Amino acid sequence: MEDNKKKYLIITYGCQMNIHDSELLAGMLEEMEYHQTAEIEEADLILINTCIIRENAELKFFGKVGSLKALKEKKAGLIIGVGGCMMQSDQAVKELYQKYPQVDLIFGTHNIHHLPDLIKRIEQERGRIVEVWKQEEGLIPDLPAKRENISQAWVSIIQGCNNFCSYCIVPYVRGRERSRPVAGIMQEVNKLVADGVKEITLLGQNVNSYGQDLGDEVDFADLLQKLDKVDGLARIRYMTSHPRDFSQKLIDTIRKSEKVCEHFHLPIQSGSNHILTKMKRGYTREKYLDLIKRIRETVPDASITTDFIVGFPGEREEDFIATMDLVNQVQFDLAFTFIYSPRTGTPAAGMANQLEPEVKKERLNRLMKTQNLISLEKNKKLINSIVEVLVEGESKNNRMMYSGRDRKNKLVIFPKKDNAKGALVRVKINRVQSFTLFGEIIEASFNKKLVVETG
Protein backbone atom coordinates (compact mmCIF):
# COMPACT_ATOMS: atom_id res chain seq x y z
CA MET A 1 0.00 0.00 0.00
CA GLU A 2 1.51 3.31 -1.04
CA ASP A 3 1.33 5.50 2.02
CA ASN A 4 1.81 8.79 0.24
CA LYS A 5 -1.51 8.28 -1.57
CA LYS A 6 -4.41 10.37 -0.31
CA LYS A 7 -7.00 8.42 1.62
CA TYR A 8 -10.78 8.64 1.75
CA LEU A 9 -13.56 7.28 3.91
CA ILE A 10 -17.28 7.35 3.13
CA ILE A 11 -19.99 7.21 5.79
CA THR A 12 -23.36 6.14 4.40
CA TYR A 13 -26.85 6.47 5.86
CA GLY A 14 -30.09 5.21 4.36
CA CYS A 15 -31.25 2.69 1.83
CA GLN A 16 -29.61 0.48 -0.81
CA MET A 17 -29.88 3.34 -3.27
CA ASN A 18 -27.58 5.37 -1.08
CA ILE A 19 -25.24 2.46 -0.46
CA HIS A 20 -24.94 2.05 -4.21
CA ASP A 21 -24.38 5.79 -4.70
CA SER A 22 -21.53 5.53 -2.20
CA GLU A 23 -20.01 2.75 -4.34
CA LEU A 24 -20.13 5.16 -7.28
CA LEU A 25 -18.58 7.97 -5.22
CA ALA A 26 -15.83 5.54 -4.16
CA GLY A 27 -15.33 4.48 -7.78
CA MET A 28 -14.73 8.08 -8.83
CA LEU A 29 -12.33 8.71 -5.94
CA GLU A 30 -10.33 5.59 -6.83
CA GLU A 31 -9.98 6.95 -10.37
CA MET A 32 -8.61 10.15 -8.80
CA GLU A 33 -5.97 7.98 -7.11
CA TYR A 34 -7.49 8.27 -3.69
CA HIS A 35 -7.28 5.08 -1.59
CA GLN A 36 -9.88 3.78 0.81
CA THR A 37 -9.17 3.68 4.53
CA ALA A 38 -11.19 2.31 7.41
CA GLU A 39 -9.46 4.61 9.94
CA ILE A 40 -11.15 7.97 10.15
CA GLU A 41 -8.00 9.62 11.61
CA GLU A 42 -6.05 8.59 8.51
CA ALA A 43 -8.49 10.08 6.01
CA ASP A 44 -7.64 13.14 3.90
CA LEU A 45 -11.20 13.18 2.60
CA ILE A 46 -14.35 12.22 4.50
CA LEU A 47 -17.65 12.03 2.62
CA ILE A 48 -21.00 11.58 4.31
CA ASN A 49 -23.89 10.31 2.21
CA THR A 50 -27.06 11.41 4.00
CA CYS A 51 -30.65 10.14 4.22
CA ILE A 52 -33.77 12.19 4.90
CA ILE A 53 -36.52 9.56 5.00
CA ARG A 54 -37.15 9.77 8.76
CA GLU A 55 -36.10 12.25 11.42
CA ASN A 56 -33.73 9.85 13.20
CA ALA A 57 -31.62 9.52 10.02
CA GLU A 58 -31.13 13.29 10.16
CA LEU A 59 -30.34 13.35 13.88
CA LYS A 60 -27.70 10.64 13.48
CA PHE A 61 -26.09 12.61 10.69
CA PHE A 62 -25.90 15.87 12.65
CA GLY A 63 -24.35 13.99 15.57
CA LYS A 64 -21.73 12.52 13.26
CA VAL A 65 -20.83 15.71 11.46
CA GLY A 66 -20.57 17.52 14.81
CA SER A 67 -18.07 14.93 16.00
CA LEU A 68 -15.83 15.63 13.00
CA LYS A 69 -15.08 19.17 14.15
CA ALA A 70 -12.23 18.13 16.42
CA LEU A 71 -10.68 16.04 13.65
CA LYS A 72 -10.81 18.95 11.24
CA GLU A 73 -9.08 21.21 13.77
CA LYS A 74 -6.33 18.64 14.29
CA LYS A 75 -5.67 17.88 10.66
CA ALA A 76 -4.86 20.71 8.27
CA GLY A 77 -6.01 19.91 4.77
CA LEU A 78 -8.73 17.44 5.73
CA ILE A 79 -11.66 17.80 3.33
CA ILE A 80 -15.16 17.03 4.60
CA GLY A 81 -17.92 16.65 2.02
CA VAL A 82 -21.62 15.96 2.53
CA GLY A 83 -23.97 14.66 -0.15
CA GLY A 84 -27.11 12.58 -0.47
CA CYS A 85 -30.84 13.03 -0.06
CA MET A 86 -30.78 15.42 2.88
CA MET A 87 -28.74 17.90 0.88
CA GLN A 88 -31.66 18.35 -1.53
CA SER A 89 -33.40 20.23 1.29
CA ASP A 90 -32.62 23.98 1.39
CA GLN A 91 -33.25 24.07 5.11
CA ALA A 92 -30.76 21.28 5.85
CA VAL A 93 -28.11 22.84 3.61
CA LYS A 94 -28.57 26.23 5.28
CA GLU A 95 -28.23 24.74 8.75
CA LEU A 96 -25.19 22.69 7.78
CA TYR A 97 -23.44 25.58 6.06
CA GLN A 98 -24.05 28.05 8.86
CA LYS A 99 -23.49 25.89 11.94
CA TYR A 100 -20.86 23.42 10.73
CA PRO A 101 -17.89 25.33 9.30
CA GLN A 102 -15.92 22.06 9.24
CA VAL A 103 -17.88 21.06 6.13
CA ASP A 104 -16.06 22.09 2.93
CA LEU A 105 -18.36 20.63 0.31
CA ILE A 106 -22.11 20.15 -0.02
CA PHE A 107 -23.52 18.34 -3.07
CA GLY A 108 -26.86 16.73 -3.95
CA THR A 109 -28.25 13.52 -5.39
CA HIS A 110 -28.46 14.80 -8.98
CA ASN A 111 -24.81 15.78 -9.44
CA ILE A 112 -22.80 12.98 -7.85
CA HIS A 113 -20.92 12.63 -11.14
CA HIS A 114 -19.41 16.08 -10.55
CA LEU A 115 -17.61 14.93 -7.41
CA PRO A 116 -14.12 14.76 -8.98
CA ASP A 117 -14.35 18.37 -10.23
CA LEU A 118 -15.69 19.61 -6.93
CA ILE A 119 -12.91 17.90 -4.97
CA LYS A 120 -10.25 19.27 -7.33
CA ARG A 121 -11.61 22.79 -6.91
CA ILE A 122 -11.46 22.49 -3.15
CA GLU A 123 -7.95 21.03 -3.25
CA GLN A 124 -6.80 24.00 -5.35
CA GLU A 125 -8.80 26.89 -3.94
CA ARG A 126 -9.47 25.72 -0.37
CA GLY A 127 -12.86 27.48 -0.27
CA ARG A 128 -16.23 26.05 0.66
CA ILE A 129 -18.50 24.85 -2.15
CA VAL A 130 -22.23 24.24 -2.22
CA GLU A 131 -23.44 22.65 -5.47
CA VAL A 132 -26.91 21.19 -5.27
CA TRP A 133 -29.08 20.87 -8.37
CA LYS A 134 -32.75 21.50 -7.74
CA GLN A 135 -33.74 19.12 -10.53
CA GLU A 136 -32.42 16.06 -12.25
CA GLU A 137 -30.94 16.50 -15.72
CA GLY A 138 -31.82 13.18 -17.32
CA LEU A 139 -30.13 10.06 -16.04
CA ILE A 140 -27.03 10.30 -13.92
CA PRO A 141 -24.41 8.94 -16.32
CA ASP A 142 -23.00 5.43 -15.85
CA LEU A 143 -20.16 5.58 -13.36
CA PRO A 144 -17.59 3.01 -12.25
CA ALA A 145 -18.59 1.41 -8.94
CA LYS A 146 -16.13 0.26 -6.31
CA ARG A 147 -17.85 -2.84 -4.97
CA GLU A 148 -17.10 -4.29 -1.55
CA ASN A 149 -18.64 -7.62 -2.38
CA ILE A 150 -17.16 -10.02 -4.91
CA SER A 151 -20.25 -12.06 -5.66
CA GLN A 152 -23.13 -9.57 -5.32
CA ALA A 153 -23.82 -6.28 -7.03
CA TRP A 154 -26.43 -3.52 -7.17
CA VAL A 155 -27.60 -2.45 -10.60
CA SER A 156 -29.60 0.75 -10.93
CA ILE A 157 -32.46 0.38 -13.45
CA ILE A 158 -34.68 3.37 -12.69
CA GLN A 159 -34.00 6.60 -10.84
CA GLY A 160 -36.58 8.81 -9.12
CA CYS A 161 -40.20 8.34 -8.16
CA ASN A 162 -43.52 9.69 -9.48
CA ASN A 163 -45.79 8.38 -6.76
CA PHE A 164 -45.92 11.18 -4.20
CA CYS A 165 -47.29 9.09 -1.33
CA SER A 166 -48.38 11.77 1.12
CA TYR A 167 -45.80 10.90 3.83
CA CYS A 168 -42.78 10.46 1.58
CA ILE A 169 -39.98 12.88 0.86
CA VAL A 170 -38.27 10.70 -1.78
CA PRO A 171 -39.93 12.18 -4.91
CA TYR A 172 -38.78 15.63 -3.78
CA VAL A 173 -35.14 14.60 -3.37
CA ARG A 174 -34.68 12.03 -6.13
CA GLY A 175 -36.71 13.63 -8.93
CA ARG A 176 -39.03 12.04 -11.50
CA GLU A 177 -38.80 8.49 -12.82
CA ARG A 178 -36.09 7.93 -15.40
CA SER A 179 -35.47 4.39 -16.69
CA ARG A 180 -32.07 3.27 -17.83
CA PRO A 181 -32.09 1.85 -21.36
CA VAL A 182 -32.02 -1.96 -21.54
CA ALA A 183 -28.74 -2.08 -23.49
CA GLY A 184 -26.77 -0.30 -20.75
CA ILE A 185 -28.23 -2.55 -18.05
CA MET A 186 -27.45 -5.73 -20.01
CA GLN A 187 -23.93 -4.53 -20.68
CA GLU A 188 -23.32 -3.81 -17.01
CA VAL A 189 -24.76 -7.14 -15.88
CA ASN A 190 -22.71 -9.11 -18.42
CA LYS A 191 -19.58 -7.36 -17.22
CA LEU A 192 -20.43 -8.04 -13.57
CA VAL A 193 -20.98 -11.73 -14.30
CA ALA A 194 -17.66 -11.88 -16.17
CA ASP A 195 -16.08 -10.44 -13.00
CA GLY A 196 -17.58 -13.25 -10.90
CA VAL A 197 -20.84 -11.74 -9.66
CA LYS A 198 -23.53 -14.36 -8.97
CA GLU A 199 -26.35 -12.23 -7.63
CA ILE A 200 -27.62 -8.88 -8.81
CA THR A 201 -30.17 -6.63 -7.13
CA LEU A 202 -31.98 -4.32 -9.51
CA LEU A 203 -32.48 -0.97 -7.84
CA GLY A 204 -35.09 1.71 -8.13
CA GLN A 205 -37.57 3.52 -5.87
CA ASN A 206 -40.31 1.83 -7.88
CA VAL A 207 -38.82 -0.88 -10.10
CA ASN A 208 -42.13 -1.98 -11.54
CA SER A 209 -42.57 1.36 -13.29
CA TYR A 210 -39.49 0.41 -15.27
CA GLY A 211 -39.69 1.23 -18.99
CA GLN A 212 -42.81 3.41 -18.90
CA ASP A 213 -40.79 6.46 -19.88
CA LEU A 214 -38.58 4.71 -22.45
CA GLY A 215 -41.09 4.56 -25.28
CA ASP A 216 -39.80 1.27 -26.65
CA GLU A 217 -42.42 -1.03 -25.18
CA VAL A 218 -40.34 -2.73 -22.58
CA ASP A 219 -41.55 -3.23 -19.03
CA PHE A 220 -40.04 -4.63 -15.85
CA ALA A 221 -41.21 -8.18 -16.62
CA ASP A 222 -39.53 -8.00 -20.05
CA LEU A 223 -36.31 -6.83 -18.43
CA LEU A 224 -36.40 -9.74 -15.95
CA GLN A 225 -36.92 -12.17 -18.83
CA LYS A 226 -33.85 -10.85 -20.61
CA LEU A 227 -31.71 -10.95 -17.49
CA ASP A 228 -32.86 -14.48 -16.70
CA LYS A 229 -30.99 -15.63 -19.79
CA VAL A 230 -27.60 -14.26 -18.72
CA ASP A 231 -25.28 -17.27 -18.44
CA GLY A 232 -23.34 -17.54 -15.22
CA LEU A 233 -25.73 -15.39 -13.21
CA ALA A 234 -27.40 -17.34 -10.40
CA ARG A 235 -29.81 -14.92 -8.74
CA ILE A 236 -31.82 -11.83 -9.57
CA ARG A 237 -33.37 -9.66 -6.86
CA TYR A 238 -35.06 -6.27 -7.14
CA MET A 239 -36.17 -3.49 -4.86
CA THR A 240 -38.46 -1.73 -4.22
CA SER A 241 -41.71 -2.74 -5.86
CA HIS A 242 -45.05 -0.99 -5.40
CA PRO A 243 -48.07 -3.26 -4.77
CA ARG A 244 -50.23 -1.07 -7.04
CA ASP A 245 -48.08 -1.82 -10.10
CA PHE A 246 -47.38 -5.50 -9.50
CA SER A 247 -48.95 -7.02 -12.60
CA GLN A 248 -50.03 -10.61 -13.18
CA LYS A 249 -47.57 -10.64 -16.10
CA LEU A 250 -44.81 -9.89 -13.60
CA ILE A 251 -45.90 -12.67 -11.22
CA ASP A 252 -46.06 -15.15 -14.13
CA THR A 253 -42.64 -14.03 -15.39
CA ILE A 254 -41.11 -14.58 -11.97
CA ARG A 255 -42.76 -17.99 -11.73
CA LYS A 256 -41.28 -19.04 -15.07
CA SER A 257 -37.85 -17.58 -14.46
CA GLU A 258 -34.96 -19.61 -13.15
CA LYS A 259 -32.96 -16.84 -11.50
CA VAL A 260 -35.45 -14.38 -10.05
CA CYS A 261 -35.61 -15.21 -6.34
CA GLU A 262 -38.86 -16.36 -4.72
CA HIS A 263 -39.01 -13.32 -2.49
CA PHE A 264 -41.60 -10.56 -2.78
CA HIS A 265 -41.10 -7.35 -0.83
CA LEU A 266 -44.39 -5.49 -1.06
CA PRO A 267 -44.66 -2.51 1.30
CA ILE A 268 -48.29 -2.18 2.41
CA GLN A 269 -47.78 0.62 5.03
CA SER A 270 -51.24 0.16 6.62
CA GLY A 271 -54.08 -2.35 6.73
CA SER A 272 -56.77 0.34 6.93
CA ASN A 273 -58.41 1.71 3.78
CA HIS A 274 -59.05 5.01 5.57
CA ILE A 275 -55.29 5.43 6.13
CA LEU A 276 -54.26 4.00 2.75
CA THR A 277 -56.41 6.65 1.05
CA LYS A 278 -54.85 9.42 3.13
CA MET A 279 -51.41 8.02 2.27
CA LYS A 280 -52.32 8.10 -1.46
CA ARG A 281 -51.05 4.55 -1.95
CA GLY A 282 -53.35 3.76 -4.86
CA TYR A 283 -54.63 0.38 -3.61
CA THR A 284 -57.05 -0.91 -1.01
CA ARG A 285 -56.56 -3.56 1.63
CA GLU A 286 -58.71 -5.90 -0.50
CA LYS A 287 -56.59 -5.30 -3.63
CA TYR A 288 -53.43 -6.00 -1.64
CA LEU A 289 -54.83 -9.21 -0.17
CA ASP A 290 -55.85 -10.33 -3.65
CA LEU A 291 -52.30 -9.69 -4.89
CA ILE A 292 -50.86 -11.80 -2.08
CA LYS A 293 -53.34 -14.57 -2.87
CA ARG A 294 -52.34 -14.57 -6.55
CA ILE A 295 -48.64 -14.58 -5.70
CA ARG A 296 -49.12 -17.55 -3.37
CA GLU A 297 -51.17 -19.41 -5.96
CA THR A 298 -48.53 -18.84 -8.64
CA VAL A 299 -45.31 -19.13 -6.60
CA PRO A 300 -46.43 -21.37 -3.70
CA ASP A 301 -43.18 -21.34 -1.76
CA ALA A 302 -42.50 -17.60 -1.96
CA SER A 303 -41.47 -15.51 1.02
CA ILE A 304 -43.36 -12.26 1.40
CA THR A 305 -42.10 -9.26 3.35
CA THR A 306 -43.46 -5.76 3.84
CA ASP A 307 -43.08 -2.31 5.40
CA PHE A 308 -45.50 -0.65 7.82
CA ILE A 309 -45.80 2.91 9.01
CA VAL A 310 -47.61 3.23 12.33
CA GLY A 311 -48.99 6.45 13.76
CA PHE A 312 -49.85 8.16 10.48
CA PRO A 313 -51.87 11.38 11.11
CA GLY A 314 -55.46 10.53 11.98
CA GLU A 315 -54.74 6.81 12.59
CA ARG A 316 -57.48 5.66 14.98
CA GLU A 317 -57.28 2.57 17.16
CA GLU A 318 -59.67 0.87 14.73
CA ASP A 319 -57.29 1.64 11.84
CA PHE A 320 -54.42 0.13 13.76
CA ILE A 321 -56.53 -2.93 14.60
CA ALA A 322 -57.13 -3.33 10.85
CA THR A 323 -53.34 -3.39 10.39
CA MET A 324 -52.92 -5.99 13.14
CA ASP A 325 -55.68 -8.06 11.60
CA LEU A 326 -53.99 -7.92 8.19
CA VAL A 327 -50.68 -9.02 9.73
CA ASN A 328 -52.36 -12.05 11.23
CA GLN A 329 -54.13 -12.81 7.99
CA VAL A 330 -51.17 -12.50 5.59
CA GLN A 331 -48.51 -14.11 7.80
CA PHE A 332 -45.55 -12.16 6.42
CA ASP A 333 -42.10 -13.70 6.66
CA LEU A 334 -40.77 -10.38 7.88
CA ALA A 335 -41.98 -6.79 8.27
CA PHE A 336 -40.02 -3.58 8.62
CA THR A 337 -41.98 -1.35 10.95
CA PHE A 338 -41.53 2.40 11.19
CA ILE A 339 -42.99 5.14 13.34
CA TYR A 340 -44.47 7.87 11.17
CA SER A 341 -42.04 10.75 10.94
CA PRO A 342 -43.38 14.08 9.57
CA ARG A 343 -41.19 15.32 6.71
CA THR A 344 -41.32 19.04 5.98
CA GLY A 345 -42.75 19.70 2.52
CA THR A 346 -44.88 16.54 2.33
CA PRO A 347 -48.71 16.78 2.51
CA ALA A 348 -48.95 14.46 5.55
CA ALA A 349 -46.72 16.73 7.65
CA GLY A 350 -49.43 19.40 7.41
CA MET A 351 -52.36 17.08 8.18
CA ALA A 352 -54.47 17.50 11.30
CA ASN A 353 -54.47 14.90 14.09
CA GLN A 354 -50.77 14.18 14.36
CA LEU A 355 -50.42 11.45 16.99
CA GLU A 356 -48.59 11.65 20.32
CA PRO A 357 -45.21 9.87 20.40
CA GLU A 358 -46.44 7.53 23.20
CA VAL A 359 -49.37 6.31 21.09
CA LYS A 360 -47.10 5.69 18.11
CA LYS A 361 -44.54 3.80 20.20
CA GLU A 362 -47.14 1.64 21.90
CA ARG A 363 -48.63 0.67 18.53
CA LEU A 364 -45.22 -0.03 17.07
CA ASN A 365 -44.41 -2.37 19.96
CA ARG A 366 -47.70 -4.22 19.62
CA LEU A 367 -47.15 -4.67 15.88
CA MET A 368 -43.54 -5.80 16.24
CA LYS A 369 -44.40 -8.30 18.95
CA THR A 370 -47.09 -9.92 16.83
CA GLN A 371 -45.01 -9.97 13.64
CA ASN A 372 -41.89 -11.35 15.39
CA LEU A 373 -43.91 -14.31 16.62
CA ILE A 374 -45.23 -14.93 13.12
CA SER A 375 -41.69 -14.69 11.66
CA LEU A 376 -40.47 -17.17 14.25
CA GLU A 377 -43.27 -19.64 13.50
CA LYS A 378 -42.60 -19.37 9.77
CA ASN A 379 -38.90 -19.96 10.28
CA LYS A 380 -39.52 -22.96 12.55
CA LYS A 381 -41.01 -24.72 9.53
CA LEU A 382 -37.58 -24.48 7.89
CA ILE A 383 -35.82 -26.58 10.55
CA ASN A 384 -34.21 -29.62 8.88
CA SER A 385 -34.65 -28.17 5.40
CA ILE A 386 -31.75 -27.50 3.06
CA VAL A 387 -31.40 -24.04 1.60
CA GLU A 388 -29.10 -22.55 -1.00
CA VAL A 389 -27.00 -19.77 0.51
CA LEU A 390 -24.77 -17.25 -1.20
CA VAL A 391 -21.98 -16.77 1.33
CA GLU A 392 -21.44 -13.07 1.99
CA GLY A 393 -18.57 -13.37 4.45
CA GLU A 394 -17.84 -13.47 8.15
CA SER A 395 -20.86 -13.04 10.41
CA LYS A 396 -20.93 -9.62 12.10
CA ASN A 397 -21.29 -11.09 15.58
CA ASN A 398 -19.04 -14.14 15.41
CA ARG A 399 -15.78 -14.44 13.49
CA MET A 400 -16.00 -18.22 13.49
CA MET A 401 -19.18 -18.08 11.43
CA TYR A 402 -20.15 -17.18 7.91
CA SER A 403 -23.36 -15.44 6.99
CA GLY A 404 -25.33 -15.23 3.77
CA ARG A 405 -28.86 -15.23 2.41
CA ASP A 406 -31.03 -17.91 0.91
CA ARG A 407 -33.17 -17.31 -2.17
CA LYS A 408 -36.04 -16.14 0.03
CA ASN A 409 -33.72 -13.47 1.46
CA LYS A 410 -33.50 -15.08 4.91
CA LEU A 411 -30.29 -14.45 6.81
CA VAL A 412 -28.46 -17.72 7.40
CA ILE A 413 -25.52 -18.21 9.82
CA PHE A 414 -23.28 -21.29 9.86
CA PRO A 415 -19.76 -22.34 10.92
CA LYS A 416 -17.00 -21.50 8.45
CA LYS A 417 -16.06 -24.32 6.14
CA ASP A 418 -13.55 -24.39 3.27
CA ASN A 419 -13.06 -21.05 1.63
CA ALA A 420 -16.71 -20.61 0.84
CA LYS A 421 -16.86 -16.79 0.77
CA GLY A 422 -18.66 -15.72 -2.40
CA ALA A 423 -19.85 -19.26 -3.20
CA LEU A 424 -23.28 -20.85 -3.38
CA VAL A 425 -23.48 -23.57 -0.74
CA ARG A 426 -26.13 -25.88 0.65
CA VAL A 427 -26.90 -25.33 4.31
CA LYS A 428 -28.98 -27.59 6.52
CA ILE A 429 -31.01 -25.54 9.00
CA ASN A 430 -30.99 -26.75 12.60
CA ARG A 431 -32.08 -23.74 14.69
CA VAL A 432 -34.05 -20.55 14.01
CA GLN A 433 -34.91 -17.15 15.43
CA SER A 434 -37.36 -14.51 14.14
CA PHE A 435 -34.79 -12.91 11.82
CA THR A 436 -32.14 -15.61 11.44
CA LEU A 437 -31.68 -19.24 10.45
CA PHE A 438 -28.73 -21.24 11.84
CA GLY A 439 -27.28 -24.36 10.24
CA GLU A 440 -24.24 -25.99 8.72
CA ILE A 441 -22.84 -26.42 5.25
CA ILE A 442 -23.55 -29.86 3.88
CA GLU A 443 -22.22 -29.21 0.43
CA ALA A 444 -20.08 -26.46 -0.96
CA SER A 445 -21.17 -26.62 -4.57
CA PHE A 446 -19.15 -23.84 -6.06
CA ASN A 447 -20.82 -22.43 -9.15
CA LYS A 448 -23.07 -25.44 -9.60
CA LYS A 449 -26.74 -24.90 -10.23
CA LEU A 450 -28.66 -25.89 -7.14
CA VAL A 451 -32.15 -27.02 -6.49
CA VAL A 452 -33.61 -25.90 -3.19
CA GLU A 453 -35.27 -28.55 -1.10
CA THR A 454 -37.71 -27.73 1.60
CA GLY A 455 -38.80 -30.26 4.06
Binding site for ligand SF4 (CB under 6 A): 14-15, 17-18, 51-53, 85, 170, 173-174
User: Using CB under 6 A, which of 167, 220, 238, 264 touches ligand 5AD?
Assistant: 167
Amino acid at site 94: K
Q: Is the dihedral of CA 375, 378, 380, 383 positive or negative?
A: negative
CB of 275 to ligand 5AD, least distance (A): 12
Q: Which is nearer to ligand SF4, 34 or 61 (CB)?
A: 61
CB of 173 to ligand SF4, least distance (A): 6
Q: Is the dihedral of CA 159, 165, 166, 167 positive or negative?
A: negative
Partner in contact with 340, chosen from ligand 5AD, ligand SF4, none, beta carbon below 5 to 8 Å by kind: ligand 5AD
Partner in contact with 72, chosen from ligand 5AD, ligand SF4, none, beta carbon below 5 to 8 Å by kind: none
CA distance 264 to 338: 19
Partner in contact with 174, chosen from ligand SF4, ligand 5AD, none, beta carbon below 5 to 8 Å by kind: ligand SF4
Partner in contact with 140, chosen from ligand SF4, ligand 5AD, none, beta carbon below 5 to 8 Å by kind: none
Residues numbered 341-400 forming contacts with ligand 5AD, rule: CB under 6 A: 341, 343
Alpha-carbon separation of residue 102 from 13, 93, 123 (angstroms): 19, 13, 15
CB of 190 to ligand SF4, least distance (A): 27
Q: Is 269 in the site for ligand 5AD (CB under 6 A)?
A: yes
CB of 257 to ligand SF4, least distance (A): 27
User: Using CB under 6 A, which of 158, 168, 221, 330 touches ligand 5AD?
Assistant: 168
CB of 351 to ligand 5AD, least distance (A): 12
Q: Which is nearer to ligand SF4, 85 or 427 (CB)?
A: 85
Partner in contact with 54, chosen from ligand SF4, ligand 5AD, none, beta carbon below 5 to 8 Å by kind: ligand 5AD
Q: Which is nearer to ligand SF4, 172 or 438 (CB)?
A: 172
Per-residue exposure over 407-422, b if at least 16 CB sit within 10 Å of its own CB, e if not = bbbbbbbbebeeebeb
CB of 404 to ligand 5AD, least distance (A): 24
Q: Is 267 in the site for ligand 5AD (CB under 6 A)?
A: yes
CA distance 125 to 435: 50
Partner in contact with 276, chosen from ligand 5AD, ligand SF4, none, beta carbon below 5 to 8 Å by kind: none
CB of 167 to ligand 5AD, least distance (A): 4
Q: Which is nearer to ligand 5AD, 332 or 340 (CB)?
A: 340
Residues numbered 307-346 forming contacts with ligand 5AD, rule: CB under 6 A: 307, 309, 338, 340-341, 343
Q: Is 173 in the site for ligand 5AD (CB under 6 A)?
A: no
CA distance 202 to 200: 6
Cβ-closest residue to ligand SF4?
14
Give yes or no for a contact between 47 and 79, defined as CB atoms under 8 angstroms apart: no
Q: Is 238 in the site for ligand 5AD (CB under 6 A)?
A: no
CB of 312 to ligand 5AD, least distance (A): 8
User: Using CB under 6 A, which of 7, 20, 54, 180 touches ligand 5AD?
Assistant: 54
CB of 17 to ligand 5AD, least distance (A): 10
Partner in contact with 341, chosen from ligand SF4, ligand 5AD, none, beta carbon below 5 to 8 Å by kind: ligand 5AD
Partner in contact with 309, chosen from ligand SF4, ligand 5AD, none, beta carbon below 5 to 8 Å by kind: ligand 5AD
Interface residues with ligand 5AD (CB under 6 A) are: 53-54, 167-168, 267, 269, 307, 309, 338, 340-341, 343
